[in-house]
Structure 1
């Protein structure tokens, strides 16, 4: 399951290990395409924590990261942003990206 985060708990929930955050909105078509891919990865990859954040309900965190388009995926490793990806990406593309950061 992909946990939904808020502005209040984002930092605490994404400070350890490799974390992929999906920044999305309900009205965003490409976000609705990206979501099932993230859900599938979350079920098959136990080395990465997968979380999501609704940018409309939580405007502070996306603003802090300069997110201007969605979907945007941010990969953090031990609390530091190591990758920012904008637009739809398939499972293979995301697995390749994440593989670089898994020990």
Structure 2
């Protein structure tokens, strides 16, 4: 799972092609720490493109997408926001959410 700063986010997500999942999280967040291994499993098993954005380091991007709680998981397709999931989600729930856009 690649960690993105604000510039990388603009290049890889907003100007990117295809489907990706962005995990807006924070190092101090307990549920975020629980979510990370689930996302790593998904990336390895399903081949999804998954990025991580630290809301404290990239608060401009977090503000742009109205991230008010972490973890916030956002699905983008061809640079456009398609769906937002707030809080911890199981692997199955994330697969279901991603498959809607495949």
TM (norm. structure 1) is 0.94
Structure number with higher helix proportion: 2
The list of structure 1 runs, each at least 4 consecutive aligned residues, that deviate by more than 4 angstroms after superposition, is none
Tell me if 1:37 matches 2:38.
yes
Look up the match of 2:58: 58
What is the aligned-residue RMSD (CA, Å)? 0.7
Q: Which residue of 2 aligns with 1:97?
A: 97
Q: Flag structure 2 segments of 5+ consecutive residues without an equivalent.
A: none
Give unmatched runs, 5+ long, in structure 1.
Answer: none
| 2:72 match | 72
Paired positions, count: 100
TM-score by length of 2: 0.95
Distance of 1:45 and 1:78 partners within structure 2: 19
